[in-house]
Structures are given as C-alpha cells and as structure tokens.
Amino acid sequence: MKTAYKSIEPKDKLVADWKSLMRTFIRPEDDATRSVLLKYMEQILFGLNEFLKTHVGITQEISLKDLADQYTDSRIPMTPEKKLDAVITELIEEFAPRVVNVASPYFVGHMTAAIPFFMVHLKTIVTALNQNVVKIETSKLASVVEKQVLSKVHRLVYGFGDDFYGTHIQSVRTALGGVTEDGTLANMTALWVARNKLLAPKDGFGGVEKEGMSAALRAHSLDRCVLLVSRLAHYSLKKAAGVLGIGTDNVIAIDVDAHNRMDLNCLERKLTELRMSPVKSGILAIVGVAGATETGTIDPLPELADICAKGRIHFHVDAAWGGPTLMSDKYAALLRGIERSDSVVIDGHKQFYMPMSCGLVLFKDPTAMDAIEYHANYIMRPGSVDLGTKAIAGSRAANSLILDCALKIMGKNGYGLLLNHGIETARDLATEITSRPDFQLVTAPELNILTYRYCPADMQAALAKGSAEQRREINTLLDQINIQIQRFQREAGRSFVSRTTLKVDSLGPEGIVVLRCVIMNPMTDMVVLNDILDEQEAIYQKYIGNKLPIKM
C-alpha cells in the first residue's frame, strides 16, 4: 500500500496561498468538491475499517522505542507539507496500524472498547457545528439540550418526580450537574463543591474559594480536611485532593472486606479516631465507589448513606464505571443507595459507549453548584444562563448532544442489553477460570470486571499447605509469571488483558500481581475469552514453565 500513498504525494512543493486557504473554509457548492470531501469521509470510515478488520488483535508488532525514534521532528514546516488526501492516506496506512485496536473483542484489558458506529456520525455533527457551550451566545440550543440530558441522567440516579424536574430542567438559576472532559475532572468538580460547602463563608470569613485553604481552616477552627475513600478508589480522588489544596496525605484509605467493599467497621473506627484526635479534621466527604477500577466492586452505599446522614457528611459516589448499570432492569439494584448520595460521577465514554471522552457530575441539591460560581464581564454575567458559570473548564464542545441522541437511539433497554451481556459474560468467565486447574480466580465479578492469575495446579497445592514464608516465595514467583504472561500476550498482539497489583487477604499480606478483564464489548463472548485463556496457558507452557527457577 506504500505505493498508493506515494503516488498521491504532491510532485511540486506546496505553497500557502490565500486562494487555496479560503477554499478550506468555504462550504463547497459544486458537486465535484462535494464528492471529493465525501470520498475522504468514505476513506476514513472504511479505510480505517479495513485496518481494524484485518488486525483482529491489538496492534502491529513494533516496539515503543522504535516507534518513538520515527517521530522526532520538532519543526513546524514553513510551507504546507501535505494535502488532506495525503494526510488521510498516511493516517490510514501508517498511523492506524500502530495505534491500539481498542474495538477488538480481544481487547478486554481496559475500560475502552468498541463504540456503536453512529457515535462517529454524532461526533461529526458536533464538530461541524463547532458550538462552545461555555455560553449561550456560542451555543444556544446546544446549552438547552445539555441541561435536558443532565436532567435525564439525574433522574436515572435520583429519581425525583415530575415537579422537581419541571422546576429545574431548564432553570437559569439552578444546575443539576455538569459535563466535564472526563471522570477525573468530574470527581474534582464534586469535591470542589464539597470543599466549598464545608469551608463556607461565615462571620466575616469570605469562604475558601475567596480566601484559600489556610484561612478557611483557621476560620473554621480546623487543622485539616480529610476525605475518606475505599483503598480501591480511583487515583483521581487523590489527585483532586492534591489540586484542591487539601493534600493527598489527607485522603484516608479505608480497608476493604473480603468482597472488596469498603469495610464499615474500619470506617467507623476511623471516624471515631478522627473525632477523638487532638488534630481537628473536617470531613470533606466520604466516597463510595460503584464499580472499582480494578475489581468492579461496589461499596455498601446504603450503609455509607446512613453514616453520612448521621454525621452530616457529604456523600459522594464515584460511579464513573458502574453508573449506567442503573439502565439494566436486572442489575440496577446493585447500585441501591446511590440515590441517597449528594453527588455522583458517571463517565460517558465508558458504559454510555460515547466516544472519548466525557464525564458527568450530578448533584442531588440543584443549588449545590452555586458554591463554584464564576462570572466575567464579557460573558457569563450574573443572571446569565451560560453553562460556563458553574464548571471547572471554560470552552467546551457540545458532547452532551451525543449522549442525548444516543439515549434516544438505544433506549434504556438497548443499554440494558449491553450491560447485562457484560455482567453475565464476566460471570461465565469466572466459572470458566474456576474450572481450569491452572488458573485462580482472585476477585469475582460483581459487575463486569474480574481479576485472576495464572497459577499452576502444583503451585496452588503448595500455597495451600505452605508456611507463610513459602507462600510469600511462591507468590513472588507467581507475580513474575503473570507479569511475563501479560507482556508476552500483549506483544504477540492478538489479545490484551491488563494487569494490576492487589492486596488480597486470603492470599497473603503482600500485594499480588493479577490479570484483569473488563467485559464491555458486546462482541466479546466465551469463544473469545477461552481463546485468551488458552493463549495464556500456551505462553506459560512454551516460554515460562520450563525456565522456572523453582520446581514445585
């Protein structure tokens, strides 16, 4: 294909001139130009398609180092280097084969998968209209639609009645939530609001937003603010605490129980300890995770809601992963208690199957976001309906339109089918892993994520009867084995699972390396998953088992 690409390279040097420049801005009138533009789009839709079809696996075999060595040009060319057709051809023939085929059913390692075809069309519309939802003057209906879709997701989570939504859905004074670039910024927004609520203005003190963290703690007679989260919580909560001036040391990780849910006894003990301590701590929030990144597990939301209600503590639920499960009639109940939270985060690009990337943050109280309100002279004047008045970012694309359309096209039931498939396939996979003598299920899937490790039967037996010291040695060896299996498999390029390190009480006091599967692609079925397990077994047999330093 190299030749085809070369042949459309311009023979003469390109020059930037006003006339050809204008042509890139003017909307085409003549059929010839239109058909050229459409031809490019066809190349994009189906040229990429050819690549993605032939690369069933993940990526072409080339090391990152070799790849990086080819992209070391730090100069912007003076004159145009390539025309659009050459750029598109290059992207299809040279670029696409070297990115990651996240749409492959064999790509089950991360929370990124195939998206429905229509998402690409919807994004193209958003791009062509190029609205900026920071303000009405550059978005108009796009801002109105954003408010509507936020209400839809708010209702999915909190389920208030028609009166409530009738009042707030298009209110210019209140906000049911916001759209952010991703879950990290959505979590940061939720904690920003919680911080400003806790360290609110009082008795001549102007509030933390105006006077800063140090003055705020002084005014509220506190030594520090803390955040209580499960030890399986996403790292973005720590990052949010760092950014917000709270300090990552003040994010207190609570241990989990045997089911990887926040241990309520540990939490209560920590709360008592905080209350009794001479160091005065303000509790910014307790965070429940609904779909932990590594294990997919859900914290005990109803009990956390009780504790927060009793202590008048902000209850935040990070449902970036699990939130859309509310659309499944069969499994929505797993998230029971989420409706009692003060704020919730759900990612659009995860189980709403939107294109990368989109985060949503919702607040039960429609006035909560007043705590982070900003104005400017040239836009977002007080009383304006500009969405930018209550947001961590400024300029933003109207990505909420994609979600609004997707909900119409899919319906709750359509999403429900996808979510059910993920959960049920993960359960089948867990059964399969348990039935294979050389595999060990580490965390069972509560939603559609599970972890396991390759653990030959003889090692399992040795683990069962070994001393603490022997178990530690075997676990260390197993860590190496699983790191190697994952790397071999990734490099072979046919399939991809991820790996992480988990502390699992039943397996010893140290963190152990586990393989992690996330099942969200509807084309990922047990045939695919058995292939993946078979390949791991084959990798062990061929490359690892015979080179082991220890014989069992």
How near is the Cβ of 178 to a second copy at its closest, in Å? 12
Q: What tokens appear for 479 in the block?
A: 């860590």
Question: Which range touches a second copy (CB under 8 A), out of 72-80, 301-309, 330-338, 533-541?
Answer: 72-80
User: Residue 301 has which token pair?
Assistant: 């939301």
**Beta carbon nearer to a second copy, 305 or 317:** 317
Distance CA 364, CA 344 (A): 8
Give the range of 138-146, 269-277, 362-370, 437-445 binding a second copy by CB under 8 A: 138-146
254 is an interface residue for a second copy by CB under 8 A: no
C-beta closer to a second copy: residue 123 or 436: 123
Residue 496 in the binding site for a second copy (CB under 8 A): yes
The number of CA neighbours under 13 Å toward the Cβ of 332 is: 15
Retrieve residue 285's tokens.
């929030």
Report the nearest approach of a second copy to the CB of residue 156 (Å).
Answer: 6
Q: How many CB atoms lie within 10 A of CB 218?
A: 12
User: Is position 139 an interface residue for a second copy (rule: CB under 8 A)?
Assistant: yes
User: In terms of Cα–Cα distance, which of 438, 463, 437, 460 is closest to 540?
Assistant: 438
Q: Shortest gap between Cβ of 9 and a second copy (angstroms)?
A: 12
Nearer to a second copy, 12 or 73 (CB): 73
Q: How far is the CB of 464 from a second copy (least distance, A)?
A: 26
Q: Distance between CA 54 and CA 400 in Å, rounded?
A: 33
Site for a second copy in 77-116 (CB under 8 A): 77-84, 87-88, 91, 95-96, 98-100, 102-103, 109-110, 112, 114-116
Among 137, 268, 505, 534, binds a second copy (CB under 8 A): 137
For residues 231 and 255, the answer to whether their CB atoms sit within 8 Å is yes
Q: Which single residue is written with the structure tokens 């152990």?
A: 512
Strand order in the sheet with 511-518: 439-443, 449-454, 511-518, 498-503
Q: Token pair of 290, please?
A: 């609904």
Helix (H, G, I), strand (E, B) or coil at 186: helix
Q: Answer yes or no whether residue 482 interacts with a second copy by CB under 8 A.
A: no
The two three-digit tokens of residue 382, written as one number: 């007080």
Helices marked H in 332-399 — which ranges?
Answer: none
Q: How buried is residue 186: exposed, middle or buried, by Cβ count under 10 Å (0-12/13-18/19+)?
A: buried
Applying the rule CB under 8 A, the residues between 152 and 181 that interact with a second copy are 152-156, 162, 165-166, 169-170, 180-181
Query: According to CB under 8 A, which one of 6, 9, 34, 61 is a site residue for a second copy?
Result: 34
Q: Which of 8, 10, 61, 130 binds a second copy (CB under 8 A)?
A: 130
Binding range to a second copy, per CB under 8 A, among 139-147, 330-338, 470-478, 540-548: 139-147
Scanning residues 273 to 332, which ones bind a second copy (CB under 8 A)?
Answer: 293-294, 327
Q: Tokens 């890139």 appear where?
A: 24
* Nearer to a second copy among residue 320 and residue 433 (C-beta): 320
Cβ-based nearer residue to a second copy, 50 or 432: 50
Binding positions for a second copy, 324-383, rule CB under 8 A: 327, 347, 349, 355-357, 372, 374-380
CB of 546 to a second copy, least distance (A): 28
Residues 193-232 close enough to bind a second copy by CB under 8 A: 206, 208-215, 217-218, 223-225
Phi, psi of 520 (to 5 degrees): -130, -15
- β-strand partners of 262: 256
Out of 3, 74, 467, 506, the residue judged to bind a second copy by CB under 8 A:
74
Q: How near is the Cβ of 457 to a second copy at its closest, in Å?
A: 27
Query: In the structure encoding, which two tokens stand for residue 406, read together?
Result: 């997707």
d(CA 551, CA 459): 9
Contact letters (x/-) for a second copy, 425-464, by CB under 8 A? ----------------------------------------
Dihedral sign of CA atoms 498, 186, 319, 413 in order: negative
- In the list 120, 333, 457, 461, the residue contacting a second copy (rule: CB under 8 A) is 120
Nearest distance from C-beta of residue 507 to a second copy, angstroms: 16
Q: Around 212, how many Cα atoms within 13 Å sit in the side-chain half-sphere?
A: 2
User: By C-beta, is 305 or 401 nearer to a second copy?
Assistant: 401
Q: DSSP for 1-59?
A: -HHHHHHTS-SSPP---HHHHHHHHSPP-SHHHHHHHHHHHHIIIIIHHHHHHH--SS-
Task: Write the single-letter amino acid at 370.
Answer: D
Tokens for 391, please give them: 């947001």
Residue from 89, 106, 136, 447 touching a second copy (CB under 8 A): that is 136
Residue pair 220/282 in contact by the 8 Å Cβ criterion: yes
- Within positions 176 to 195, which residues make up the interface with a second copy, using CB under 8 A? 180-185, 188, 192
Q: Which of 5, 56, 144, 257 binds a second copy (CB under 8 A)?
A: 144
Site size with a second copy, rule: CB under 8 A: 185
Candidate residues 59, 325, 341, 482; the one interacting with a second copy per rule CB under 8 A? 59
Least CB distance to a second copy at residue 119 (A): 7
Alpha helices in 371-456 (DSSP H): 400-435
526 binds a second copy (CB under 8 A): no
Interface residue with a second copy, options 367, 395, 470, 541 (CB under 8 A): 395
Helix ranges, 171-316 (H): 183-198, 208-219, 235-243, 264-276, 301-311
